[in-house]
Amino acid sequence: MKLTAKQRLFADEYIKSGNATQSAIKAGYASKSAYRTGADNLRKPQIKSYIDAKMAEIESHKIADAKEVLQFYTRVLREEETEEVALPAGDDVITVEKKPSFKDRLSAAKELMKRYPLSDPMVQAQLKKITADARVAEARAKALEDNGQDMELLLDKMLDTISKEDKNDEPK
């Protein structure tokens, strides 16, 4: 994706303004043919790819990801974030830095806990039940798979134990 210096400048200007004609002029193309050159440049695959890639990069930086949101909530919870508040001072207005209120911190804590539900006792109980159900299902599947061999072994052990007890209980 090699672009000439003029093409790159055109693309960068187009990203800023969205105007192909003005971008062509700023990139150094002739004013008389700027309209046509701008339109032609937008049809060139390498320029279009460059513009699309740059626009995607710009958009990705505009949108906060999950990690950034969690970090913000944590900073609010720890009172590391501040906000500017305008206060009247006679005829003037002054601004002061204000730390998050208790209500704001509590709200941030709740938002964080929604993302880490394992500390919720109800969720833990549900997780234990699901785990137990899964173990029972696995045991049943294994028993069916073994065609009852486990049951035969269990019965043999029980019969051995009963016969040993019977021998011990017999009068000598």
Does residue 67 lie in a domain region?
no
Question: pTM for this structure?
Answer: 0.41
Domain hosting residue 12, numbered range: 5-62
Query: What pLDDT score was predicted for residue 149?
Result: 61
17 and 35 inside one domain:
yes
Residue 18 tokens read as 């969205």
Give Cβ neighbours of residue 19 (< 8 Å, ≥ 6 apart): 38
Strand pairing class (83-89; 92-98):
antiparallel
- Check whether residue 110 and residue 132 sit in a common domain: no
pLDDT at 64: 76
SS3 85: strand
Same domain as 14, residue 55: yes
pLDDT score for 144: 66
Half-sphere exposure of 10 (CA within 13 A, CB side): 26
What distances in angstroms separate CA 143 from CA 59, 131, 149, 151, one per listed residue? 55, 18, 7, 8
Number of domains, the chain: 3
SS3 at position 83: strand
Q: Write out the two tokens for 14.
A: 């187009």
pLDDT (0 to 100) of residue 168: 66
Do residues 57 and 22 share a domain? yes
d(CA 14, CA 38): 9
What DSSP assignment string belongs to 88-123?
EETTEEEEEEEPPPHHHHHHHHHHHHHH-GGGSHHH
Domain presence at residue 38: yes
The CATH number linked to 52 is: 1.10.10.1400
Q: What is the Cα–Cα distance from 41 to 30, expressed in whole angstroms?
A: 14
CB 7 within 8 A of CB 30: no
**Structural domain includes residue 81:** yes
Let me know whether 97 and 135 are in one domain: no
Residue ranges in the chain whose pLDDT is less than 50:
none
Look at residue 6 in the predicted model and tell me its pLDDT.
Answer: 94
